[in-house]
Amino acid sequence: MKQPKVLSFLFLLLISSLLTGLLTPFSGLTFAGSSLHHEQEYPLSQLSKTLKTPFLTNFLGIYWPHLDTFKYDKNFLIRSSQDGKHWSPWQEVFLMTEGPDEQTEQKFDYGQLLFTKNAHYIQVKVTHLDLSQVKLGAFTLVFIDSRQPSIALAKQNKIKRSIAGEEFYMISREGWGADESICWTKETPTPQETVTHLFIHHSALNSNIAHEDCDDAIRGYLDYHVHDKNHLWSDIGYNYLVCPHGVLYQGRRFAVEKTMVDGKEVVTPKDVIGAQVVKYNKGTLGICAIGSYMGEVQPSKELQNILYRTLLWKVTQYGIDPLGHTPYTPKDVKEPQSLETVSGHRDAPLASTECPGDNLHAVIPALRNAVAERLKQPK
């Protein structure tokens, strides 16, 4: 019974607007497709006041001007509350280095999206920083309500895949309720000419997420990556996402290639350039594991299994040796670098990030080996 609350909120908004005789826009608050979204700037302080959210907030983003970038990594802490009395633990804000789109100028740095469940109150703390020594004056919170009616989840659109004799399913964008109206407002997706490397990410969502919240999370990422007026990414940054419960989701929209075969038009979906590793997006795909794989949190068997299948699918499609080290030349760099064909985000030589978390990073060699072993067996 999630949607009635959203509808009643909108209904009240409409009624109050009619009563005042004005359908004035609610400043900064938009309702596009499935998500409510609001941004608010706050002055930087060691500990904020208790901040009231504009609506029930299940995901919260944060961004700040692109200054002293790495100084703020893990120095913002955020907690949330439903009643203003009982609070979640403080969650560390990790600096995200997944985007923006290569053609977009980076004006802001931003933290990972935080899962705040049913938050009505937020508090922000700054640690390990002497505020008199930093240039940053303010930060902006992005409040998102990405819940959607269960009717949409009931008709989840699954695309069947069969790779090396192993069948699995991928939830399409329609299946997870992507709001297509907010994507690609500026240009059409750029198809990859070829793919040579695959990057594994984690979403650094500092919470154990239940499967019923996974669709909400992906709609939250889409909204955060695109809808934020300062980011202006063209779509969700990752090409694919996998969840701890063993489900694969399409991320970025595919490009469409149309060819004529025997007088009939054949439509082929093509992977596109993502916004997932700055300077390394061309010729690579990003697969993001929902969750944070630092500290105690280990990647589940289900997660490793769906990652294995997804890697097997992509290395087969592009003829990639999963055990290979091949050259890659990042954007604006002259000399090629040696990069393992299946890498974690942190393995990109120019990347400065803990993504995909120590514990997920630790299983990548085993995933490479498992894929290589499967490729040796008869199909």
Which H or E run includes 110?
Answer: strand 108-110
Give the nearer residue to Zn ion in terms of CB position, either 6 or 355: 355
Rounded to a whole number of angstroms, the minimum distance from the CB of residue 247 to Zn ion is 5
Cα–Cα distance for residue pair 28/79, rounded to 1 Å:
23
Question: Residue holding tokens 């760099």?
Answer: 333
Strands 264-270 and 197-202: unpaired
Shortest distance (Å) from residue 261 CB to Zn ion: 37
Shortest Å distance, C-beta 44 to Zn ion: 26
Nearer to Zn ion, 161 or 245 (CB): 245
Q: What sign does the CA torsion over 231, 236, 242, 243 have?
A: positive
Residue 38 beta carbon to Zn ion: minimum distance, rounded to whole angstroms: 26
Cα(210)–Cα(245) distance, integer angstroms: 8
CB of 84 to Zn ion, least distance (A): 30
Closer residue to Zn ion (CB): 197 or 345: 345
Q: Are the C-beta atoms of residues 62 and 74 closer than 8 Å to each other? A: no
Picking from 324, 289, 320, 285, the residue whose alpha carbon sits closest to that of residue 306 is 289
Report the number of secondary-structure helices (H) and strands (E) in the chain.
7, 19
With respect to Zn ion, which residue has the nearer C-beta, 124 or 363? 363
Residues that bind Zn ion (CB under 5 A): 201, 211, 214, 243, 245, 345, 355
Q: What is the DSSP letter of 214?
A: H
Query: Please, which residues bridge with residue 76 across strands?
Result: 126
Considering the complex, state which of residue 231 and residue 345 has its C-beta at the smaller distance from Zn ion.
345
Q: Which of residues 76 and 199 has its CB atom nearest to Zn ion in the complex?
A: 199
Q: Tell me whether residue 15 is exposed, middle or buried, using C-beta atoms within 10 angstroms of its C-beta: 0 to 12, 13 to 18, 19 or more.
A: exposed
CA atoms within 13 A on the CB side of 295: 9
- Nearest-approach distance from CB 201 to Zn ion, in angstroms: 3
Q: Could you tell me the smallest distance in angstroms from the CB atom of residue 236 to Zn ion? A: 13
Q: Other CB atoms closer than 10 Å to residue 202's CB: what's the count?
A: 26
Q: In the complex with Zn ion, which residue's Cβ is closer, 81 or 281?
A: 281
